[in-house]
Amino acid sequence: MPDAPDFRSLFDATLSPLLILSPDFTIVEVNRAYLTATRTRRDIVGRPIFDVFPDNPEDPSADGVTKLRRSLETVVSSGRTDTMALQRYDIPTGEGGFTERYWSPVNTPVLGEDGKVEYVIHRVEDVTEYVQVRRAGREQQRAAEEAEVRAEGMEIDLFVRAREIREVNEQLSRVNAELDSAGRRLREEQRAKDRFIATLSHELRNPLAAATAATELLALDMPKGHPALSVLERQLGTLTRMSNDLLDGTRALTGRLELVRDPVDLRSVVHGACADIRGLFGHEGRTLGVVLPAEPVPVDGDRLRLAQVLTNLLSNALKYTRPGGHTEVGLTAGDGRARLTVRDDGIGFAPGLAEELFGVFMRAAPAGPDTPEGLGLGLAVARTVVELHGGRIDAHSEGPGKGASFTVLLPTTDSTGGRRSRPPSAPGSPRRLSLLIVEDNADLAETYRSLLERQGHRVTAVHSGRDALAADAGRPFDVVLCDLGLPDIDGYTVARALRARPDGATMRLIAVSGFSQGTDRALSRAAGFDAHLAKPLPLTDLLDLLDRLDAS
């Protein structure tokens, strides 16, 4: 039986340059071909490879060490061969300089009986001449022939690489298919959640509207007031804002919050929002101060959304201001920007939390006796609305117990534009109107009917679209208040049918719905409605609209 081959001699005689590394990348062994290719000697054995072959300091783009280290670490951690792309890795000349070299490396693990990597075989091919030939386009015939010989030898490597790339591509295809499937599921879950929240918010509006209208009816019956009425008004206002924040928070997260822009004097927005909420500040001795400039502050914006921003900031101040506290609203303009500030002397917050307060479901303090209920969506919605207007909102506090201030910056325009205020109505009693209420919520319909009859109007209430068309067929109405979500035919169909009748052009149609976004309002306008009001609808807003319609 022939003697076993001398594997060291075979290793040393191998034509491919080979280097054996330990798992910590120390050189364990090297063959002659490698020493020749790298112009080194056997004294490199026992030294870390990156000490022997550092990056060329004169080449700022040198990344040979980084790429080789990444490949070796991959082999040690995975126990699998890693074929590196052709790359430049200059070698030291021994005289303090470096020689430009290009290599085609393959790193292969040697596993022990326990499956762990004991050695790494680092095989390289010096392809510098091939690269230079490719770069120069053409050299001497002898160099081209030698490069061709080397290219033939590299075809095997290319075949191996192609097979590995094909396997990786197949794995990527499977992973991409799984990601696509997961993405579709996530999008469907997101849509389902959005539909649920939108439906929930809409369904909350009907009972809120009925409760709000009933509270106003009680207020009419009790001209001297009652402590319970103020409680109902405050709590219903809180529920209404929470319902709005729930719906608007979802739209803000998904980027579907809409604006209906018009030129507007920001002073009127501030005045209206503060007037609406001032009664809540009177509870438990809190006060609200407002400082407005004498000159208009024109902005191009959505009046309702801007009022929502200020209402959310004031609601936030109301929550975190203790009894007897004070909140100040200030508005100034200059350098092409409007500055709206809401400052309170409430519980404040740590300065480092300023940015986090605008996150979804974030609160300045946990719910408790000093921090009333809330969803943590108001500031997130406010920031989205302000940014959609091209502005910025910031929060500031000196620390807990030192109050807080919120500053809104908005770009101003040259003028408040084409909307002109309606001239005052001539003195006298308002005209008695014939009104039709179309509302499937019986409690809400009857409460609206009672409120409007108290104002001297003739009111008919029905609960379906077909009943509305039948009621109008007998005698035309001056104004129709119509819900959009009816049990038989929707409010849009009712509006189109009424407009098509001989007296339809003179009739005033008002949509009253829990859906009141920009697209909802556009649909109601297209169906023939003159106005679109959102539930819950305060009596004062309805009466003001009826007054404007009567005067127009």
Q: What is the pLDDT of residues 135-193, one digit of tens each?
A: 776 555 665 567 667 777 677 777 777 778 888 888 888 888 888 888 888 777 766 66
Alpha-carbon distance 307 to 272, whole Å? 8
| Whole-structure pTM value | 0.44
HSE-CB at 542 with a 13 A cutoff on CA atoms is 26
pLDDT tens per residue, range 245-281: 555 655 555 556 667 788 999 999 998 888 878 877 8
Cβ-proximal residues to 291 (8 Å cutoff; 6+ apart), any chain: 328, 329, 330, 331
Mean pLDDT of 463-468: 91
Whether residue 226 has pLDDT greater than 80:
no
Query: pLDDT value at position 353?
Result: 85
In this structure, what DSSP letter does residue 171 have?
H
Whether residue 351 has pLDDT greater than 60:
yes
Query: pLDDT value at position 193?
Result: 61
CB 97 within 8 A of CB 104: no
Alpha-carbon distance 507 to 528, whole Å? 10
Query: pLDDT value at position 245?
Result: 59
Residues in the chain: 552
Query: pLDDT value at position 421?
Result: 39
Please confirm whether the linkage preceding 536 is cis (ω < 30° from 0). Answer: yes
Whether residue 371 has pLDDT greater than 70:
no
- Which stretches of 258-417 are DSSP H helices? 266-281, 303-320, 378-388
Query: pLDDT value at position 427?
Result: 41
Query: pLDDT value at position 422?
Result: 39
The residue among 320 and 515 whose pLDDT is bigger is 320
Whether residue 514 has pLDDT greater than 70:
yes
Q: Order across the sheet with 392-396: list the strands.
A: 287-291, 326-334, 337-344, 404-411, 392-396
pLDDT tens per residue, range 212-222: 666 766 666 66
The rounded percent of the chain whose pLDDT value lies above 90 is 29
Alpha-carbon distance 41 to 19, whole Å? 12
